[in-house]
Structure 1
Amino acid sequence: METRQMVTKSMLIADLKQLGVTPGMKVFVHSAMKQIGWIPGGAQALIEALQEVITPDGLIMMAAQSTDNSDPKNWSRPAVPEDWWETIRQEMPAYDPAKTPTRSIGKVPELFRTFPDVKRSAHPMWSVTAWGKDAEAFVAGHTIDNGFGPGSPLEKFIEADGQILHIGSPWDSTTVWHYAEYGIDRPLEESGCKMKQGDEEVFIRYQHRIIDSDPFGPIGEGMLDEPFVTTGKVGQATSHLVSAKASIPVVMLQLNALNSWLS
């Protein structure tokens, strides 16, 4: 079948500007390449279009999650036999911001982490990447303990009036909204990861908050008429520009209401 919808880098730049993306803006980007159309240059062209619109005076952030650096006892997609668990813990490589690939979050964030001047945070499972002004400061101090919550790069992004940019991607991929889950009553789960400690590679155990992005879909759909949400097209993809700071209280309110209903 012949591909009939071509979206060039120049078109992406024009569409991003039409949506409201401006030089110097701070954006946390989620994208779905298949929704945008056929792009000459693919993920590289999309990233370069974002950089040209935002400019180095702004900030681009993306998720860089490496969820396979975790305790195999918690794996389900796919699960592995219990008699493999200890061998995996001993043999899996430690998290390395420069080497460790992302998992199941798409071509764009995986390529973005390799781009020149992109910085990556130190969380072994829930890292984020950043390019632009003060990128290193935004990803600094991302410890196992703060995850997506207070003290994390997400909190810095929210406090800096960042914008969540969805380019054809579903609402349940909104990484920034996990911050709201730290403001409600959510249990902790024991996990583990492989990390470098000096010259050693060590599997450590820790507690992290259980997160669940499933409610984000209906929450996002219910937010479309809010004044802090702008909707338009980037290529063929329905896209949204959303104030992180304004949306977090709405997400938290909805999650609290859901918790109350479930209990």
Structure 2
Amino acid sequence: MEVNQMVTKSDLIRDLKQLGVEPGMKVFVHSAMKQIGWVPGGAQAVIEAVQEVVTETGLIMMATQSTDNSDPKNWSRPAVPEEWWETVRQEMPAYDKRKTPTRSVGKVPELFRTFPDVERSDHPMWSVAAWGKGAAEFVANHTLENGFGPGSPIERFIEADGQILHIGSPWDATTVWHYAEYGIDRPDIESGCKIKRGDDEEFVHYWHRLIDSEPFGPIGEGFTDEPFVTSGKIGRATSHLVSAKESIPVVMFQLSALNSWLS
């Protein structure tokens, strides 16, 4: 990245406040470091800035997905030969919420999961991490079948009137909106992962909702005038603060309309 604008932690704090982030707020953060500008301290400074604005009376959540922990028969980036599948299932490490790294969610969530007092959920593929008031309760009981649906940390965040905070990240990264896919006519698919059972490690198969974030891009682009969206700049990054509870019904309606059109 060309260094043509420095964005300090103090700048981030000011911009977060101007966007509407405030103490006690519950925010689900998505971020793109390249969009923000050159930040002294990088991802650490971004996390600390959000923490200082929200304070310990609020809550910060992030997606800490580890999609490497999945059935190799479904892999495409890269795909592996079929004759490897069973060996991969047997040899891959089981999910460990303290050690298992994230995949394809960015530098900020990967660092956030290691921060003091951050709690991470037990879902081996679609975990979330949380810091702040009630963090452990928000990430508890994250079952295999309900990665984003009823009973998941995502549902608890929505019901608690949480706000989705995009800092330069694209709309199709909106993890919370996967909840809407459990309210429409969408099939379940078979998947697999490696988990710990006591002292043993086991590759298990399970069923979960088919999810697809591709429609989230155009849906979000159409939200610019919605009353539940506030937009502005954090550093150089175009950013949005979105009510999870108010946006979910709209996302669900648009996904249902798309399903009807495709069928």
TM-score bin (small chain): over 0.9
- Corresponding residue number in structure 2 for 1:114: 114
TM score, norm. by length of structure 1: 0.99
- Corresponding residue number in structure 1 for 2:124: 124
Map 1:62-81 to 2 at 5 A.
Answer: 62-81=62-81
Please give the per-residue CA displacement for 1:35-92, whole angstroms capped at 9, x wherever unaligned.
0000000000000000000000000000000001000000011100011100000000
Paired AA for residue 62 in structure 1: M
Please give the per-residue CA displacement for 1:185-216, whole angstroms capped at 9, x wherever unaligned.
11111111000001100001111111000000
Paired AA for residue 106 in structure 2: G
Identity score, percent: 82
Q: Which runs of no fewer than 5 residues in structure 1 stay unpaired?
A: none
TM score, norm. by length of structure 2: 0.99
Shift in alpha-carbon separation, 1:2–1:245, aligned structure 2, 3 A: closer
Paired AA for residue 222 in structure 1: G
Q: Which runs of no fewer than 5 residues in structure 2 stay unpaired?
A: none
Q: Would you identify which runs of 4 or more consecutive aligned residues in structure 1 move more than 3 Å?
A: none
Shift in alpha-carbon separation, 1:69–1:235, aligned structure 2, 3 A: same
Give RMSD over aligned pairs: 0.8
CA shift, 1:2, in A, is 6.0
Paired AA for residue 231 in structure 2: T
- Corresponding residue number in structure 2 for 1:57: 57
- Corresponding residue number in structure 1 for 2:93: 93
Distance 2:192 2:3 in 1: 45
Distance 1:195 1:39 in 2: 37
Distance 2:99 2:2 in 1: 37
- Corresponding residue number in structure 1 for 2:252: 252
Distance 1:190 1:20 in 2: 41
Paired AA for residue 212 in structure 1: D
Q: Secondary structure at 2:30's aligned position in 1?
A: strand
Q: Secondary structure at 1:206's aligned position in 2?
A: strand
Q: Secondary structure at 1:85's aligned position in 2?
A: helix
Please give the per-residue CA displacement for 1:146-184, whole angstroms capped at 9, x wherever unaligned.
110000000000000000000000000000000000001
Paired AA for residue 91 in structure 1: E
Q: Secondary structure at 2:242's aligned position in 1?
A: strand
Distance 1:166 1:106 in 2: 13
Aligned length: 263
Shift in alpha-carbon separation, 1:80–1:10, aligned structure 2, 3 A: same
- Corresponding residue number in structure 1 for 2:238: 238
**1:180 correspondence with 2:180:** yes
